[in-house]
């Protein structure tokens, strides 16, 4: 499990970082296949993701990496034609996550 990768999203939500930037974030739990379908159909606007996205992208999935990469993880992906180029572009969008954990 990659719980350490998702922790910043939950912490940012709880601490109000998204709201401070004017973003009304809704986290949606889904599995990887549903996440891919959600991005492809526009039901999910962006997603935090990992290296599992490389193969679908290589096979032609129309998504764009929109944030920095560090060893083992991709921070976010969005459809290439979504118009999402910065974090501010996520305002009013739905963000899919493939895991939900409690933040205390």
Domain 3-97 has CATH 3.40.1190.20: no
Give DSSP secondary structure letters for the chain: --HHHHHHHHHHHHHTHHHHTT----EEE--HHHHHHHHHHTSS-EEEEEGGGHHHHHTT--EEE-S-EETTEEEEEEETTS---SGGGGTT--EEES------
* Least reliable range by pLDDT among 5-14, 30-39, 42-51, 72-81: 72-81
Average pLDDT of the segment spanning 93-101: 71
CA distance 66 to 23: 17
Domain ranges in the chain are 3-97
pLDDT of res. 4: 61
> The pTM is what?
0.55
Average pLDDT of the segment spanning 41-62: 82
Mean pLDDT of the chain, nearest integer: 78
At residue 104 the predicted structure's pLDDT band, cuts being 50, 70 and 90, is very low
Residue among 95, 99, 98, 97 at smallest CA distance from 44: 95
1-27 per-position pLDDT tens digit: 445 667 778 888 899 998 999 988 888
């Amino acid at each position: 499990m990659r719980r350490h990768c998702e922790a910043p999203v939950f912490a940012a939500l709880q601490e109000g970082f998204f709201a401070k930037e004017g973003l009304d974030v809704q986290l949606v739990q889904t599995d990887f296949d549903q996440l891919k379908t959600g991005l492809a159909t526009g039901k999910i606007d962006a997603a935090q993701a990992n290296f599992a996205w490389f193969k679908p992208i290589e096979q032609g999935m129309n998504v764009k990496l929109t944030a920095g990469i560090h060893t083992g993880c991709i921070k976010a992906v969005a459809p290439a034609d979504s118009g999402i180029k910065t974090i501010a572009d996520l305002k009013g969008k739905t963000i899919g996550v493939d895991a939900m954990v409690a933040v205390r």
